[in-house]
Structure formats: structure tokens, C-alpha cells
């Protein structure tokens, strides 16, 4: 997926402008940003549910912004979307919720629908709960049901809108592993919108950040996690001192006072990226990513280069 010069406003309020990035095929990417920076708007714009004023979103030869609606509708079938609240129908069982896209968009027989649904139910660990209603299960189970529904049409691109919202740290850890395991099994391109630093530190191949109506950065995870960009450093440290305020953007005088009084940010230690669970195949996207980032090393800042080389170096050896 290629995003070029995307700009979105609501009336006079500019949400973000001139966003340009490429989501590498089969890799897992994360988009960070403080609350209110338009991350969900960005996801909806990628699939053509919202219309940006400028720019293009190119998916399999279709521009999701400017193409005819019938072409956008057909291309949207390449996507699976896990909405923030699960977006499950409260009166339908989990089975029927997950089966809904198949019944809506295909002419498959019920026997085939059942096979596909149960495969996805097993994939997300919900076997035995498929006949329950959404109100009868936990928030974490609803998240997994929403993810199973996103998978039933065999999507090439999976979008997850704050999959961790409402989950405790333990369930978030399980969900993080599930996302990596799914990527290993289906090799889909994935974009996760979140402000959860545990997911950001351990799941993605690539990371970006939206702030003040702009894409601050997008690239290999090591580039963002070692960045000294003030807004990135503040966000990753979870500190009050920095460009991000409670509601309003801070003025230059406030930032100057904070810089004089602030203690240095602690040195960051990069957590290793999650690996697929035992018994699953290696991630094909991870191998493609390795070749890609090693080729782009000369373009990256020294801290990012060092972190990448450390992550790929065998124990006691050098990167080959």
C-alpha cells in the first residue's frame, strides 16, 4: 500500500496534511500518536470510508481516494479491519458475527462458511465460545472475535484500530503475540494504530508517529525507538516535559522553561521483537524486512544503524 500526500480536514480543522508513506508488503507496522491526532481518521481514509481532500492511497492498482466508488468497494474486500470496540452485533452470536462478511460478500454454502469461521475461531483461541453473545464474554474475547471477523475474507491487508483499548497488560501481551502469530500464518500486510508502548516496542517491523497535523516519521522500528526527535522522545518516555500538552500545543516559552528544568530522558533499551509461537513457520515478512533494512542502513541515523546491526547479529558474531 502506497500513501501519497494525504491531507484530511473537517471544515476548518486540519487533521493531518501531506502524509506520505509505504506499508511494506507482509510486514507489521504501527502508527503511534497522542490522543486526538487523527489516527482512526487515517485508518478510515485508507479504506475509503472517509474522503481526504488531497492525495492518493494506492492498493492493487486502485486509488482509494479518487477511484469510482464501485472500484473502491471491490478493493475494500482486500482489507480486514479490527475496529476499536470490536463493532460486534450484540444480538448475534460470535459465530454469526464472524460469519457476517462471508454471508454479505460471498455466495458460499453454509457448510463452507462454517469451516472457514471455525478455522478463524481456532486461530484466535475462541473454540467453545462461538455460540455466546458479545455481552456474555470479556472485552479481550470480543477483541479476538473482532479480529477473527476481520480474517474471514482472507485479507491481504489488516488494519487494527487500538486493539489494546480496554485490555489489561496481560491480555495486551497475549494479543500482541496473537498478531505476530497471525502474520506468520497468513503473511498479510498489517497496520496497527495504538498509543500502547508495549505493543509499539515488541510487535512491529516499522513504526510511524502523527503529531501536530504531520507525519513526524515512518520507517524501521529501530529508527523511531532510538529517535531524539523531541516529540518522539517525550512520547516514548511518558513524560510531561516536551511538545505534547494535555490539550493545547505548548508555546515556545513553556518549552524553553521545561528544557531548563527537565532531567535527561533515561537511556532506552530496545526490547526484542516478538517471534512466532513454537510450531508456527518463520515470518516471511521478517525475512523480506531484514533484506530491506540492511540495504537502507547508510540512510539511517547512527543509533538506528547500531540497533539494527545488534538485532541481526548472531550471538558472538557479525551480520552476514
- The one-digit pLDDT tens for each residue of the chain (320 residues) are 999 999 999 988 899 999 999 999 999 999 998 888 888 899 999 999 999 999 999 999 999 999 999 999 999 989 999 987 667 899 999 999 999 999 988 899 999 999 999 999 998 889 999 999 999 988 888 888 999 999 999 999 999 998 888 788 888 898 899 999 999 999 999 999 998 888 999 999 999 999 988 999 999 999 999 998 988 988 888 888 888 876 556 666 665 666 655 656 666 778 899 999 999 999 999 999 999 999 999 999 999 999 999 998 875 455 65
Q: What is the pLDDT of residue 93?
A: 95
Residues 85 and 213 in one domain: yes
Q: Is residue 10 part of a domain?
A: yes
φ/ψ of 168, rounded to 5, equals -80, 170
Total structural domains in the chain? 2
Residues 191 and 248 in one domain: no
Residues 197 and 155 in one domain: yes
Residues 66 and 154 in one domain: yes
Q: Where residue 164 sits, what CATH number does that domain have? A: 3.40.50.300
User: Is 45 in contact with 6 (CB distance < 8 Å)?
Assistant: yes
Partners of 9 in beta bridges: 14
- For residue 155, the 8-state DSSP code is -
75 Cβ partners below 8 Å, 6+ apart?
A: 48, 59, 60, 62, 64, 67
Q: Is residue 76 part of a domain?
A: yes
Which residues form the domain of 235?
Answer: 227-267
Residue 303 in grid coordinates = 543509533
Residues 110 and 187 in one domain: yes
Residues 156 and 256 in one domain: no
Residues 262 and 216 in one domain: no
Residues 32 and 65 in one domain: yes
Residues 208 and 252 in one domain: no
Q: Is residue 247 part of a domain?
A: yes
End-of-domain residue from the set 192, 220, 248: 220
What CA–CA distance (Å, rounded) separates 276 from 46? 28
Q: What is the pLDDT of residue 119?
A: 92
Q: What is the pLDDT of residue 212?
A: 85
Residues 63 and 189 in one domain: yes
Q: Is residue 276 part of a domain?
A: no
Residues 205 and 241 in one domain: no
Taking each helix axis from N to C end, the angle separating 139-151 and 94-105, rounded to the nearest 10 degrees, works out to 20
Q: Is residue 273 part of a domain?
A: no
Residues 162 and 233 in one domain: no
Q: Is residue 258 part of a domain?
A: yes
Q: What is the pLDDT of residue 248?
A: 53
- For residue 313, the 8-state DSSP code is S
What global pTM score does this model have?
Answer: 0.88
Partners of 207 in beta bridges: 30, 219
The residue with cell 478463524 is 120
Residue 176 in grid coordinates = 500482541
Residue 206 in grid coordinates = 516499522
The length of the chain, given as a count of residues: 320
User: Is 244 in contact with 145 (CB distance < 8 Å)?
Assistant: no
Q: Is residue 168 part of a domain?
A: yes
What CA–CA distance (Å, rounded) separates 295 from 24? 14
Q: Is residue 319 part of a domain?
A: no
Taking each helix axis from N to C end, the angle separating 302-312 and 284-295, rounded to the nearest 10 degrees, works out to 140
Which parts of 153-229 fold into alpha helices (H)? Answer: 169-186, 197-202, 221-225
Amino acid at each position: 500500500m502506497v500513501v501519497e500526500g494525504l491531507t484530511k480536514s473537517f471544515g476548518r480543522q486540519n487533521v493531518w496534511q501531506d502524509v506520505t508513506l509505504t506499508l511494506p508488503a507482509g510486514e507489521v507496522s504501527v502508527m503511534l500518536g497522542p490522543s486526538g491526532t487523527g489516527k482512526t481518521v487515517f485508518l478510515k481514509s485508507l479504506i475509503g470510508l472517509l474522503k481526504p481532500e488531497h492525495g492518493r492511497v494506492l492498493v492493487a492498482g486502485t486509488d482509494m481516494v479518487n477511484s469510482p466508488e464501485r472500484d473502491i468497494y471491490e478493493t475494500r474486500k482486500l482489507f480486514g479491519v479490527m475496529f476499536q470496540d470490536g463493532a460486534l452485533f450484540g444480538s448475534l452470536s460470535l459465530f454469526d458475527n464472524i460469519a457476517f462478511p462471508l454471508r454479505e460478500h460471498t455466495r458460499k454454502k453454509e457448510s463452507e462458511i462454517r469451516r472457514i469461521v471455525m478455522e478463524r475461531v481456532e486461530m484466535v483461541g475462541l473454540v467453545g465460545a462461538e455460540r455466546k453473545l458479545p455481552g456474555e464474554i470479556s472485552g479481550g474475547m470480543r477483541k479476538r472475535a473482532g479480529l477473527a471477523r476481520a480474517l474471514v475474507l482472507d485479507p491481504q491487508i489488516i488494519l487494527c484500530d487500538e486493539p489494546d483499548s480496554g485490555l489489561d497488560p496481560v491480555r495486551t501481551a497475549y494479543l500482541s503475540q496473537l498478531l505476530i502469530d497471525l502474520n506468520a500464518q497468513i503473511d498479510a500486510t498489517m497496520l496497527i494504530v495504538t498509543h500502547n508502548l508495549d505493543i509499539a516496542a515488541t510487535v512491529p517491523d516499522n513504526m510511524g508517529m502523527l503529531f501536530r497535523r504531520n507525519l513526524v516519521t515512518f520507517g524501521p522500528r529501530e529508527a523511531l525507538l532510538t529517535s531524539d526527535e523531541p516529540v518522539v522522545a517525550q512520547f516514548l518516555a511518558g513524560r510531561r516535559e516536551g511538545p505534547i500538552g494535555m490539550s493545547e500545543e505548548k508555546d515556545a516559552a513553556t518549552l524553553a522553561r521545561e528544557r531548563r528544568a527537565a532531567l535527561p530522558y533515561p537511556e532506552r533499551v530496545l526490547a526484542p521483537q516478538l517471534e512466532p509461537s513454537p510450531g508456527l513457520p518463520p515470518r516471511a515478512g521478517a525475512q523480506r524486512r531484514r533484506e530491506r533494512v540492511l540495504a537502507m542502513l547508510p540512510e539511517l541515523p547512527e543509533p538506528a544503524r547500531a540497533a539494527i546491526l545488534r538485532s541481526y547479529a548472531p550471538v558472538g558474531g557479525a551480520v552476514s
